[in-house]
Chains A and B, each alone.
Chain A
Amino acid sequence: MNNISMGQYLPAGSPVHRLDPRSKLICIALLVPAVLMTSNPLGLTLVSLWTLLVVLLSGIKPGLYWQSLKPLWVLLLISFVLQVFFTPGNALLTLGFIKISREGLLYSGWLLWRISVLLLAASVLTFTTTPLQLTMALEWLLSPLRRMRVPVQELAMMINLALRFVPTLFDEARMLLLAQRSRGTDFNSGSIKERVSRLTPFMVPLLTNIFSRADELALAMEIRCYRVGAARSRLHVMRFRPADYAALFLNTAILAAVITAKAL
């Protein structure tokens, strides 16, 4: 609990924080194909530099990016090593049955690079955008689906409530875990069967408490005149500003450049 995890919003008031969430979401949507489509090192270097620039502009210490992505780096490195070993091709180095091929090294190197850039970009988004802004942006982007009777507004409300209650339920779970541990439950040893049965004192009250919270929440929403399906207005109306147009333009330009380079 003493580490910043991926997906956590960190307030900082940087230019990236101030962008309209919709444009941030669209920029990511433009960046993903750009990263995946470039096949020359120069192109990917450019895209990477662009991402790093945004990281610097986000006003959040680079160390925190590193920290939040650490668990993922480990996974990536493992898959990198496996890729290197199991991609057939011209052997560069042979150690017994292990063969490292030029193709394997190149292929997995590219993959690692691309995924790193994408993860970094995703972190910029979640570090600088509140979950609420994200859902509002999503709701806006998905609003055409309303015509097809997709309950976009209700879905957004559900996501919002889930986001609002993550910290609360996390506290609740933590409190229960500590309380049962102080009564001698050991959640960390024994066979799988034993461990599962030890979860009862944790899971039963957790679920009971979640349901009673949900009950009260439903009541609280009803009190404040919430009705499923009724039209709602919003406090904040999202607005595109010059910086948003600039960001959108730059990202579109990068994608266009990548596509052009590919076509030539």
Chain B
Amino acid sequence: MPGPSNILIELESVSYAYPGSKFAALQDISACVGRAEFISVIGPNGSGKSTLARVMAGLLLTSGGRVMINGLDTARPESRQEIRRNVGLVMQNPDNQLVAAVVEEDVAFGPENLGLPSAEVFRRVEEALAAVGLSDMRSRPPHMLSGGEKQRLAIAGVLALKPLCVVLDEPTSMLDPFGRQEVLQVLRSLSKSGTAVVLITHHMDEAACADRVWLLDKGCLLFDAEPAALFSQFELLHELGLTSTSAGELAYRLVEQGFTLPVGIVTMEDMVNFLCRVLK
């Protein structure tokens, strides 16, 4: 949990209902994202994850409660442009968020919209492409890139605005394992270099890389904890149609067989360490 001075995004009992819908897509969510913190969000389909992403990026205005981003209330129209620059959103399908027919032009889109001078646009494009490892592909057309490359390009497009936080809505669900790894590496290095990351995902092994995990169900925040704590909640996860991480699932099977395992086995390394201790 970040201290008060380190809070970047603060959700204060946020509720949201889509216009014309009786059901609340989000109900009374209170949570916060610290600077440079890496948070992942899991939950069954339809649990409100995408809505939460849009609310956190200031694209949807809450029906109840308040969202503060770097001290700015998203409800205030005059801070909208500032909020856009502070929080970037990357969506599931990279094909729908790339705007230009050439890689570098796509990254330049954001800075160009800010009206920055050409030299500054160029510098930001360089930096953003380097951050996602696409510098060699700058003059390619995006539709010739692989899925992972496209998604990294989409991230670069957001990074060029120098945001304080990047929110990603299932960015890896259309990617192969290699592409997923590429994207995840980029996200890790982002949070190391000071940008907060909020990653929505269906892949529990990915979610476990974060500092904290949020579990959503039916628009409510059920759990906000470190991966080790959340991924030991086997019954809760299974009830929701989710799973623990692969190592967590194995630990669960062993517990079911009657063995006693320490709580908090989440990664392959955790499992290997445990087995080494017991079997050697």
A and B are interacting partners: yes
Number of chain A residues whose Cβ lies closer than 8 Å to a Cβ of chain B: 30
Q: CB within 8 Å of A: which of B38-57?
A: 57
Bitwise interface map of B from 196 to 214 toward A, beta carbon under 8 Å scored 1, else 0:
0000000000000000000
Q: Does B59 lie within 8 Å of A231, measured CB to CB?
A: no
> Is B79 close to A, CB under 8 A?
no
Q: CB within 8 Å of A: which of B104-155?
A: 104-105, 108-118, 121-122, 125, 141-143
Q: How far apart are A64's CB and chain B's nearest CB, in angstroms? A: 18
> Is B5 close to A, CB under 8 A?
no
Contact of A234 among B57, B121, B142 (CB under 8 A): B121
Q: Does A220 lie within 8 Å of B97, measured CB to CB?
A: yes
Q: Does A164 lie within 8 Å of B100, measured CB to CB?
A: yes
Q: Does B84 lie within 8 Å of A163, measured CB to CB?
A: no
Interface residues of B (CB under 8 A from A): 57, 59, 81, 84-85, 88-89, 91, 93, 95-102, 104-105, 108-118, 121-122, 125, 141-143, 157-158, 161
With a CB–CB cut-off of 8 A, which chain B residues contact A234? 108, 112, 118, 121
Q: Does A164 lie within 8 Å of B101, measured CB to CB?
A: yes
With a CB–CB cut-off of 8 A, which chain A residues contact B95? 168, 213
Contact of B99 among A220, A233, A237 (CB under 8 A): A220
List 10 additional contacts besides A164-B100, A235-B118; criterion CB under 8 Å.
A132-B100, A164-B99, A216-B91, A216-B96, A219-B91, A221-B109, A224-B157, A231-B115, A233-B112, A234-B112
Q: Does A224 lie within 8 Å of B59, measured CB to CB?
A: no
> Is A96 close to B, CB under 8 A?
no
> Is A223 close to B, CB under 8 A?
yes
Question: Cα distance A236–B138 when bound, in Å?
Answer: 13
Q: Does B101 lie within 8 Å of A132, measured CB to CB?
A: yes
Q: How far apart are A229's CB and chain B's nearest CB, in angstroms? A: 11
* CB within 8 Å for A222 and B97 given contacts A230-B113, A234-B121, A235-B105: no
Contact of A225 among B59, B102, B108, B113 (CB under 8 A): B113
Question: Cα distance A227–B111 when bound, in Å?
Answer: 12
* CB within 8 Å for A219 and B59 given contacts A131-B101, A164-B98, A225-B81: yes
* CB within 8 Å for A132 and B105 given contacts A223-B88, A225-B114: yes
